[in-house]
A and B are shown apart, each in its own frame.
Chain A
Amino acid sequence: MFGVLMITLLLTVSLVGSNMDTILKQGIIYQVRAEITENTSIVQGFNDPKEFEKFVQQKIDERVKTLGLDTPWYSPQRLGYTMYKILILDFGNATFLTSDSGSSNVGEIIFEKMPKTILLFTTATIIISIIGIVLGAASSNKIGSKIDRITSTFAVISSSFPVWWIGMLMIFVFAFVYQIFPARATPNIASDDPGYFLALLYHMTLPVITIVLIGFGAWAYLVRNFMVGIMQEDFITAKKTMGISKKKIVYSHALRNAAPPIVTILALSLSGSLGGAIITEAVFDWPGMGRLYFEAISVMDLPVIIGSTYILTVLFLVSIFIADLLYGYFDPRVRTSN
């Protein structure tokens, strides 16, 4: 797992590395020239423009060397240094973006945004899974019934709509036609205000409704399919012959046995939604990781891009790991004997 993380990082760094260097170098040239022109005494000291240019170039080279930019980004020391710094969560300073409190430390920016993303997507995922499990169990209870058919159709239809498009429609309908919810999901009160949390919840409603609307159909369908498989197992038939009511079988015995795959998928979809958050957050203007990522890309703020990719990958890997552990916990069959 650690290896995967390192490979991911290496790929990111190598993809953005060369661009980062050119941008940094241009920044240095600009900076040096600005410093020299500001200091008129230096300019006046030169009579020959050629000599002056030479002096400027020398200064630039000096600075490039001190920052270690004279070796290419793929040289072992620089690569190793970059990787090491990322590993200890030191992402350096952002080139353009700042956090709400004004800090340009990438770590601080990310940790300011992350709770909001987690808040939005965890809430949505929890709602989705509750609705999904209840609906899925209900439709597996009566296969071929109305509720079953509606759930299946809804699952197929909703999964082919892009979430962000539904988001645009929701904004259009509920923020502009009927002005119930705000169009921008970023609250416009200061974050230390006591009412901030409530405002955040209010602004969160529309994105949550959208994500739930698109998500729960597929969930219900998934749960239904697991349940259908389990309902055919021998122990359920045995329970039936024992005269236990079907409702009880579905909701307590079968659902418990369907738990392992459901929990695994829950963990995976939580982390998967974080990646998908980029577009959703861009549509709703939700002040989380996804929007940060999008903003970072549009201004090419490389430290932020690297930092957020790293965090996203870590989250993804951790949730895969947790999913594996949970699977073992719920399903004794995969436990290894010691």
Chain B
Amino acid sequence: MSSVSTNEIKREFLKSKMGLTGVFILLGLVLVSIITISTIPVSTFQEWNNPEKWILYPKTSVPSWVNLLSSEKIPEHKIIDAEIFESHKDEIFLVSQQFGVSFEYDDFPSDFIFETKTKYSDSHLVQIKVIRPDGIILEILSTSLPHSEIDTIHNQRYFSTDSMIKKNLNAYKDEFQFDFSIGATEIIFSDLNENQVQKGNYIFIMDTYGIGEPARVLESKMILGGKTFGLMGTDELRRDLAVGLLWGTPLALFIGISVSIGSVVVGLVYGVYSGYKGKKTDEAMMRFNDVIYALPALPFLIILAVTISNSIFLMIGFLMIFSWVGIAKVSRSMSLQIKTRQYVEAAKIMGQKDSKIIFKHIIPQLLPYAFASIAISVPAAITTEAGLSFLGLGDPSFPTWGQILHDANTYGATAQGFWWWIVPPGILIAITGLAFVFIGNALDVIVNPKLKR
């Protein structure tokens, strides 16, 4: 098993379809991780548990690509930025914030909110109107910013549920052919003849009139409430699941790879040393190995997580404690064989140090086996961590896939049918696992010729 050269492994590996598939999936995941780390700002991931960050997002909404699959188009949750135009006539300055919406859905939006942050002094008048696809202009709200003597920064939100809007809409009652006892959005987005969605481009205009000087708009958004959002939808706490899932990728790779490398290195050195030394050292070390082997891993991991800490780095350490045992056993028996080879004996007679013999002559022979076991032990590490997080024992400050599933379970996602919350994390766990299993199996077949038949 140790006579396989590196080149041979490479050549054989390139022949194995399974191994190549695994490598491709892994490369894809690494690419996703790199893109995530470089494009999504770290702040989104640090504020994963900060509800304020997600306030503008919809609650438990379906991923927006669902619309591609069904004929009934569900309105999408949109966050629209304003286009700002300024003009003035004599003393009167007008700041016009325009929000264009192309509305092509079969159902009314649930609501809309204007959120603006302006810097102004004195009094300002605000008028909101909408130009509909059929050319009708509805003036829906006229109000004013609170009077201020000095320069002030003011945050203002206008909600579609405002009773003033409904009152203003009553002025257009004659143009619509149906009963007005419905919500404001259902009137604004409706056909004239019957209460059905009128598709097309809507322009919402928010005009701010000021005398002497214009109000300066610092931030301005219109939120059109819908039931679909983004690539992956959102959860009960309005969090964008795409962000969580994307951040979960580098985390899962990090956990899996560091646990497996750590445990394989420890197991390899421990086993080889034990086998090489032999006699009483071997006996004692193997008994210790047996003790760890006989410990029930999951209960102990849970106790460790509860009593010591659930920080992700310590968790990696705990996972290592329980996963080096098997590797130590196998590498011990391998080193028992290798140590009887003549070149090892020769090195010994030449008076080389034990550590040098182990690291220079024995361990390099075991490297192919070590790589295969690293790949094979990654999925177990990932699923165990996910399982612990699922029980609520994970590190809450990191959005791992297990953590997302834990949240899904606590908010009863299965009972309420939020499939987009449950399915993707599990599939990602499985895909990551599969990639490593493929690579590991392909390597294993090459390293252990016995499996070849």
Contact = CB atoms under 8 A, between A and B. Distances in A.
B299 A183 contact: no
Contacts of B430: 157, 160-162
21 contacts: A4-B294, A15-B308, A19-B307, A156-B434, A156-B438, A157-B434, A159-B379, A161-B429, A161-B430, A162-B386, A164-B387, A165-B422, A171-B414, A183-B414, A274-B296, A278-B391, A279-B387, A294-B391, A297-B302, A297-B393, A316-B294
Interface residues of B, number: 44
A270 to B, nearest CB: 13
Of B303, B306, B379, B422, most A-chain CB atoms within 10 Å = B303
A168 B409 contact: yes
B433 A160 contact: yes
B299 A293 contact: yes
B422 A169 contact: yes
Of B379, B391, B392, most A-chain CB atoms within 10 Å = B391
A283 B422 contact: no
B423 interface: yes
Chain A interface secondary structure, helix, strand, loop or mixed?
helix
A275 B426 contact: no
B193 to A, nearest CB: 38
Contacts, number: 122
Interface residues of A, number: 52
A317 to B, nearest CB: 6
B304 interface: yes
Contacts of B391: 278-279, 282, 294
B297 A176 contact: no
Given A7-B291, A276-B298, A279-B387, A176 B303 contact: no
Interface stretch (A94-102, A117-125, A306-314): A306-314
A331 to B, nearest CB: 19
Nearest to B299: A309
Nearest to B438: A156
Given A7-B291, A300-B306, 12 more contacts: A8-B295, A8-B296, A15-B308, A143-B453, A157-B430, A160-B430, A165-B405, A308-B299, A312-B299, A313-B296, A316-B296, A317-B294
B391 to A, nearest CB: 6
A232 B453 CA distance: 8
A171 B423 CA distance: 12
A160 B294 contact: no
B441 interface: yes
B405 A168 contact: yes
B100 to A, nearest CB: 39
Nearest to A306: B303
A115 B292 CA distance: 27
A4 B304 CA distance: 19
A16 B307 contact: yes
